[in-house]
Chains A and B, each alone.
Chain A
Amino acid sequence: MFNADAARRWLGGVLLSGITACTSLPVPRVDESSLSSHAELTAVGFFPQEDHQCGPAALATVLNASGVTVTPEELAAQVYLPARQCSLQVELLAATRRHARVPYVLEPQLDILLREIAAGHAVLVLQNLGFSWLPVWHYAVVVGFDLPQRELILRSGREPRATVGFGEFERSWGLARHWALLVTPLEHLPVTADETRYLSAIAELETQRQFVAAALAYTTALARWPGNPAARLGLGNSRYGLGQFAQAEEVYRELLAQQPTLGAAWNNLAMTLLELQRWDDALEAAQHAADLGGASEPAARDTLAEIRKRREKM
């Protein structure tokens, strides 16, 4: 017996994570209708893994496949923890961003992984080759599959072409919570990309001030989701970050043509016009943002004040 307060506080957390943990282990059932029976990305390079040094080699493999020239030795300094003889997942994400690529963590399903391979994207996976209570972590890169044989083809450790059965792979991958990382060239979207999650991954790149890469990634995303306001706002923000204010203005105006009541866009347009020293236009846009209220109203009030201050100084 426990009281409702306590139940609410901890049981919710425990239960939710428990449910997620149990049910995120799907049976490796694969929808084969939409896939060809074989695929192998033979052009993906191979970097043999140094002793126990898991992480750098696999990351180098997918980064090079995405058009970044980098060696495992260069990456080791950024992602490798000698004490663990391994890299943390977050470090792989951070290192991918540092090399101006969008790290996208796939939905934890074998089907999804296969669809990305079929689309020509090598997938970095985390495996636990030991047991849940005695884990042996390992990163590998899936580069192909053979549906009739029910096998995956991996660049793994010192093996340039390891074949692993679906069942065996599902076990080791499942023990690593089906963690899979996709790194595509900036002109390519993952075919299975979730709109909001993918845009969040780009926004993280933008936060790291990788504006050139972010602008290109947003442009690519807009080709698939032309009506997504966050993608267009992000493109504008990246242009602004690059100091390309005329282009930024153009993007914000396109966005406002689609979404005339988006306060964030009016505010950022005002900021851009401020940089272009078009005081009256800037004030008008900022006022518009402030009048719309909502979440961006405080920013709009600051923007108004900033424009007035800077105009006086001129």
Chain B
Amino acid sequence: MNLLRKRISTVVALMLASFLFASVVMPAAQAQMVGTDALLHAQQLQQERAAVAVALERADVRAALLDYGVEPAQVQARVDSLSADEVHSLAQSIQQLPAAGDDPFGILLFIFVLLLITDILGLTNVFPFVNHRHR
């Protein structure tokens, strides 16, 4: 056990040393450039938010939400405050949406994921197999 602890502290010390070394050696100038990937992430997030907004505008999706007693505006408000990762998951699930309103199961799946991610699921009665926190 002692030996293991010693080894771990050696590894940690080495890692710390290499981090310090890297930060000294790295040219300071490079650190303040804004990377292309940062802009791409922002671009992607914007596109995904737009895609989610478009999906929420769909008549069949709105109708299905209202059927379950969920106000679409309430969902949009929640979507606006989601993190990048959550928006990404939601945008992925949009790809599963059927092209036209002829597949109720596809829409149901999307709405389930939508309510799950926006955290509305726990507040509603939409899916009876989910227990509710606020009762």
A residues engaging B (CB < 8 A)? 1-5, 7-8, 11-12, 15-16, 19-20, 23, 196, 199-200, 202-204, 206-207, 229-230, 233-234, 237, 240, 263-264, 267-268, 271, 274-275, 295-296, 299, 302-303, 306
12 pairs, A vs B, C-beta closer than 8 Å: A2-B130, A3-B133, A12-B116, A15-B112, A20-B92, A199-B40, A233-B36, A234-B36, A237-B33, A267-B32, A295-B38, A303-B32
Interface size on B, residues (CB 8 A): 33
Flag if B38 contacts A1 (CB, 8 Å).
no
Residues in B neighbouring A7, C-beta threshold 8 A: 116, 121, 130
Residues in B neighbouring A8, C-beta threshold 8 A: 116, 119, 121-122
B4-12, B16-24, B41-49, B62-70: which lies at the A interface? B41-49
Flag if A230 contacts B43 (CB, 8 Å).
yes
Flag if A230 contacts B40 (CB, 8 Å).
yes
Flag if A3 contacts B131 (CB, 8 Å).
yes
Closest to A272 in B: B33
Closest to A2 in B: B131
Closest to A264 in B: B34
Point out which of B28, B40, B92 has the most chain A C-beta atoms below 10 A from its C-beta.
B40
Flag if B131 contacts A15 (CB, 8 Å).
no
Determine how close the nearest CB of chain B comes to the CB of A205; give it in whole angstroms.
10
Residues in A neighbouring B116, C-beta threshold 8 A: 7-8, 11-12, 15
Residues in B neighbouring A200, C-beta threshold 8 A: 37, 40, 44
Determine how close the nearest CB of chain A comes to the CB of B89; give it in whole angstroms.
6
Flag if A19 contacts B28 (CB, 8 Å).
no
Does B39 sit at the interface, judged by CB under 8 A? yes
Flag if A196 contacts B43 (CB, 8 Å).
yes
Determine how close the nearest CB of chain B comes to the CB of A41; give it in whole angstroms.
31
Determine how close the nearest CB of chain B comes to the CB of A1; give it in whole angstroms.
6
Decide yes or no: A306 and B33 within 8 Å by CB, A19-B96, A230-B43 being known contacts. Answer: no
Closest to B123 in A: A4
- The answer for the CA separation of A310 and B47 in the assembled complex, in Å, is 39
Residues in A neighbouring B122, C-beta threshold 8 A: 3-5, 8
Residues in B neighbouring A275, C-beta threshold 8 A: 29
Flag if A196 contacts B40 (CB, 8 Å).
yes
Besides the known contacts A3-B122, A7-B130, 16 further A-B residue pairs in the complex with CB atoms under 8 A apart: A7-B116, A12-B113, A19-B109, A23-B96, A200-B37, A203-B35, A203-B36, A203-B40, A207-B35, A230-B36, A233-B36, A234-B36, A240-B33, A274-B29, A299-B33, A306-B32
Closest to B89 in A: A16
- The answer for the CA separation of A234 and B36 in the assembled complex, in Å, is 5
Closest to B31 in A: A302
Flag if B42 contacts A196 (CB, 8 Å).
no
Residues in B neighbouring A12, C-beta threshold 8 A: 89, 113, 116-117
Closest to A235 in B: B36
Determine how close the nearest CB of chain B comes to the CB of A257; give it in whole angstroms.
17
Determine how close the nearest CB of chain A comes to the CB of B31; give it in whole angstroms.
7
Leading 8 A-B pairs by shortest Cβ distance: A4-B122, A234-B36, A264-B34, A3-B131, A203-B36, A302-B32, A303-B32, A230-B39
